[in-house]
Amino acid sequence: MIFYFSGVGNSRWVAEQLAQKLGERLVFIPEARVSETTYELSEGERLGFVFPTYAWGVPSFVEAFIRHLQVKNVGYVYMVTTCGDDTGQTYEIFCHAVGQRGWRCAAAWAVQMPESYICLPGFDVDTPTKEARKCQNARQRVADIIEALKTRQVGIIDTLPGPLKWAKSHIIRPFFNRYLITPRYFKATDACIGCGKCAQVCPYHNIKMSSVQGQTSQKRPEWGSDCVLCLRCYHSCPEHALHWGKMTKNKGQYLYHGGQ
């Protein structure tokens, strides 16, 4: 069984590849029922978690999900995280999260995928050439991960931690989680056509379309409090009309479409 989260599609593609080749059940974390349902693994079934790296760590909402997840017959546990560059101490943070449940992470990998985080200075989507190269390399990397998982290899820690991993994960990450995972800076510009695409694609159904004051025929998106800053709305807007404050001005959009 694989539990996964994905905003722009990178982690979804990885999770789907693993599920297809390994014959695993696939569960999208926002759709999982953690309070009403106990998931039961069959004999020999692996328990996998696939998610994007958030500020050199496990997304806080994925950590919360793990804390409340009820699973029986847990044996082999692994993680695969996607990242634009490096992952810091994501592996250690994940091990702590599953360790609190009495589980042990048997193996862990990171897969570099095209960049999608664009909410700070210096961050933007990759060039088309770099995007294509990352997608090509990811196909072979995922194939290698699948082969390792088929034989339930133990002790593999291949997570691309990068330099200054402790500082990134334990100084920058807490600041990021506290102050930068917020919908308060999202806005729709006058380029918005009110199509509602952003509301349709939001994985946590956190966006609703509301009438503009004095213009009942014109609608604009409004963000609720359940935003996880996956940026699916921003990258899906057909008019590039959504922005996160001034940070996303003149920056690109990206969704995984097969790496072509």
Question: What is the pLDDT confidence band of residue 259, given thresholds at 50, 70 and 90?
Answer: low
Regarding pTM above 0.85, the answer is yes
Residue 251 within a domain? no
In a domain, 157, yes or no: yes
Q: Do 153 and 202 belong together in one domain?
A: no
Q: What is the mean pLDDT of the chain?
A: 95
For residue 235, pLDDT over 60 is answered with yes
Domain range for 129 is: 2-179
| 77-86, 127-136, 204-213, 229-238: least confident range | 204-213
**Same-domain pairing of 33 and 60:** yes
pLDDT score at 36: 76
Whether the pLDDT of residue 90 is over 90: the answer is yes
Domain total in the chain: 2
Residue 258 lies inside a defined structural domain of this protein: no
Stretch among 5-19, 20-34, 56-70, 207-221 having the lowest mean pLDDT: 207-221
119 and 73 assigned to the same domain: yes
CATH code at 218?
A: 3.30.70.20
Residue 260 has pLDDT above 60, yes or no: no
Looking at the fold, whether 99 and 202 belong to one and the same domain comes out as no
Same domain, 56 and 123: yes
Cα 126 off chain centre by: 17
111 and 213 together in one domain = no
Give the per-residue pLDDT at 22.
97
